[in-house]
Structure 1
Amino acid sequence: MPTSPTPRAAPWWVERAETLLDTKDLRTMGLGALWELFERFSFVKENVESDLLLIDVQARPELQALWAALEERALSVSEALDAAGDEVTQQLRSGVLTAAHFRERWEGFGFTEAEGRASTAADDWLEGLLRISRITTGQNRPPFGQVNMASRAHRISDFLSLINPGKRDTVYDLGCGNGKVAITVAASSSARVKGVEYGQTYVESARRTAKRFALPNLEFIHADVRDVDMSDGTAFYLYFPFWGEVAKAVARVLGGIARTRDITVYASGPRHDYGEHFLEQVSQGALCLAPHRMDFSDVMVLRSAAFA
């Protein structure tokens, strides 16, 4: 007697799709929750190749309806996310949402790590508003550049608390990627903010995002950081954007600025082939190193030694 063929196991995405379709009413969800849901939909759609999907549907025709429902629901989530973000955007553009209130709003969501996710409620809200994924590979990345990994909200909050930037300040975000830090700092303060980025696709993305908010105190510079005149800067933010000779050159430039004016450098990254170049400026008397803080052990806060 011939044996029956072994039933083909359901593709990995089926269970995820069924779970995503069984979510609550989008009208009851806030901006951060919508972003978290949007990313979950995006993960499934981006990781199911069209050729493999065709094979799945040929083996189990009923999956065609499931995939169609998934795409329709993903579109609804995207539209709801746009609507929630547009509301905040209009408040920023009109001045109804001041810089202080904007900062209070995103910080108010908190920095507790979500279970099973490398994110917090504050990050979900900011990234949903900006439509910026935390990790992007981008294009045109130089040999000395990192894969873009957006800074966590807790780190941005720490930077703002330490610097307390005002109208007389110019903040540089060096290696700004898609612009999460630069846009958030510009919307949360009255300081002039300049994001510097080598990757063209990153800069274009950051400029598109910034254009929505029409922040007069924000600009993005597409350039090799070594070619940028940063002499007007009072605060510099670096989240391990580069290493080697570029890190050494930037540290040397910042050390030179520190000898002429009072600046603060907020540099996060490993000591080897990155932090060591800033510490060299400390040993040469240009910068002084502030004490480490337990929550940010990878951060070096450096200030002009002559003005300390």
Structure 2
Amino acid sequence: MANDNRDALLYTAAAEIKETLAALTARPGLFSEENFASRAEVLDELEFHVLDRLDGLLAEKLPAELSNLRNQATALRGELEALDQRLFQRLRALIRAGQCTPESLRALLEAYAGPPEPGSSPAATEYDALDTLTNGLFIDLAEPLATEAHDPEMVYYQKTPARIIFEMAAKISAHDTFYDLGSGLGQVPLLVRLLSGATTAGVEIEPAYCRYAQACADALRLTRVRFLNADARAVDYADGTVFFLFTPFTGQILARVLGRLRQVGQHQPLRIFSYGPGTQALAQEPWLRRLSPAGGHLYQLAEFRNG
């Protein structure tokens, strides 16, 4: 009886997975290059609702039907990923050849990724197809691990959602010099350079992250973007006009860095964008004036100006 129940459960699972796989494969326009957002959704569903479920059944002695379904799902995933890789290669070639203006690249990427999901939250951990697409612009290398221990007031690295970067880049001009403080793997300076034409710099204390970011810039043949392997408290920001902080540090380190920015602001106008809990600290600085509405979610882009 136990074996009968087990077999019934396995064949029920096979029927459900087969139905899911057929529905995913039948998505309209799935294999058209421009339907990147649909492919990203299908790849997620393949991973979490088909392949993960099948992997969970691998402990059993799978009937042939389930093994065949796994082969079909793996083949579909490979085909979709290969199509995306061809798209990434084409976009990289356009960038390397200088054939994309900031405006045309933005329009192209937003068209491929589609709008954000209705009712989506601005939470820092929520990413969508635009993140997958912009990640694909950069070199296909394993993300490096941090190699050095850092001060407890330095916050662990987390990527800024691409839609936040796009929102910020729309407010930056080609005449600006932009600094990302705690730039991690470099996506913010790279995308701001591509989407605004500004001169950009990333300040990052972890050398492995800096090397990775510079390799991404070199692979796209980007000029006027650099990565400084340095402590943010020791950098000369005299040429900076726009700064971004995704809560890279807290406490005395943040106070010291803001003190340096305040000194720069005594000689020229500055804009500071913030995202995450660090916005609260900037809002308490008497030399900064908040332009974006106060209150609301911590994980929304905030803009400040000096004076």
TM-score tier by shorter-chain length is 0.7 to 0.9
* Among 62, 67, 74, the residue aligned to 1:64: 67
Query: For 1:279 and 1:115, how far apart are their aligned partners in 2?
Result: 27
Say which is worse superposed, 11-20 or 199-208, in terms of deviation.
11-20
What amino acid is the match of 1:62?
Answer: E
Give the superposition deviation at 1:265.
0.4
Say how many residue pairs are matched. 290
Query: For 2:24 and 2:214, how far apart are their aligned partners in 1?
Result: 32
Alignment of 1:95-134 (within 5 A): 95-107=98-110, 111-113=115-117, 118-119=126-127, 122-123=130-131, 125-130=133-138
2:291 is aligned to: 290
* Among 93, 109, 124, the residue aligned to 2:96: 93
Say which is worse superposed, 35-44 or 220-229, in terms of deviation.
35-44
1:235 touches 1:265 (CA, 8 Å); kept in 2? yes
Decide whether aligned partners of structure 1 residues 46 and 4 sit closer, same or farther in structure 2, where only a CA change above 3 A counts: closer
1:303 is aligned to: 305
Query: For 1:199 and 1:53, how far apart are their aligned partners in 2?
Result: 41
Decide whether aligned partners of structure 1 residues 44 and 130 sit closer, same or farther in structure 2, where only a CA change above 3 A counts: farther
2:5 is aligned to: 6
2:204 is aligned to: 197
Decide whether aligned partners of structure 1 residues 276 and 119 sit closer, same or farther in structure 2, where only a CA change above 3 A counts: closer
Give the superposition deviation at 1:181.
2.4
Query: For 2:42 and 2:206, how far apart are their aligned partners in 1?
Result: 28
Query: For 2:196 and 2:120, how far apart are their aligned partners in 1?
Result: 32
* Among 85, 95, 99, the residue aligned to 1:82: 85
Give the superposition deviation at 1:79.
1.4
Query: For 2:2 and 2:250, how far apart are their aligned partners in 1?
Result: 62
Say which is worse superposed, 113-122 or 26-35, in terms of deviation.
113-122
Decide whether aligned partners of structure 1 residues 60 and 79 sit closer, same or farther in structure 2, where only a CA change above 3 A counts: same
1:174 touches 1:195 (CA, 8 Å); kept in 2? yes
Describe the superposition over 1:149-196 as per-residue Cα deviations: whole angstroms up to 9, x where unpaired. 32242x33332333x3224x2111222333332222111222111122
What amino acid is the match of 1:6?
Answer: N
Alignment of 1:226-241 (within 5 A): 226-241=233-248
1:177 touches 1:197 (CA, 8 Å); kept in 2? yes
2:189 is aligned to: 182
2:180 is aligned to: 173
Describe the superposition over 1:96-155 as per-residue Cα deviations: whole angstroms up to 9, x where unpaired. 2222321333345664325789556655543444489xxx996558543235132242x3
What amino acid is the match of 1:166?
Answer: A
1:151 touches 1:181 (CA, 8 Å); kept in 2? no
1:238 touches 1:266 (CA, 8 Å); kept in 2? yes
Kindly, what percent of the aligned residue pairs are identical? Answer: 21
**Within the alignment, does 1:148 sit opposite 2:158 as a pair?**
yes
Alignment of 1:247-286 (within 5 A): 247-270=254-277, 274-280=278-284, 282-283=285-286, 285=287
Say which is worse superposed, 228-237 or 80-89, in terms of deviation.
228-237
2:232 is aligned to: 225
Give the match's secondary structure for 1:229: coil
Give the superposition deviation at 1:64.
2.6
Describe the superposition over 1:234-277 as per-residue Cα deviations: whole angstroms up to 9, x where unpaired. 1111223333333223222222221232211011222xxx3343
Query: For 2:304 and 2:80, how far apart are their aligned partners in 1?
Result: 43
Describe the superposition over 1:219-246 as per-residue Cα deviations: whole angstroms up to 9, x where unpaired. 2334443343333211111223333333
Query: For 2:2 and 2:81, how far apart are their aligned partners in 1?
Result: 47
What amino acid is the match of 2:289?
Answer: C
Give the match's secondary structure for 1:172: strand
Decide whether aligned partners of structure 1 residues 48 and 161 sit closer, same or farther in structure 2, where only a CA change above 3 A counts: same
Decide whether aligned partners of structure 1 residues 119 and 279 sit closer, same or farther in structure 2, where only a CA change above 3 A counts: closer
Please, what TM-score do these two structures have when normalized by structure 1? Answer: 0.74
Give the match's secondary structure for 1:260: coil
Give the superposition deviation at 1:40.
4.3
**Within the alignment, does 1:159 sit opposite 2:168 as a pair?**
yes
Query: For 2:231 and 2:54, how far apart are their aligned partners in 1?
Result: 36
Tell me the C-alpha RMSD between the 2 structures. 3.9
1:34 touches 1:80 (CA, 8 Å); kept in 2? no
Please, what TM-score do these two structures have when normalized by structure 2? Answer: 0.74
2:37 touches 2:114 (CA, 8 Å); kept in 1? no
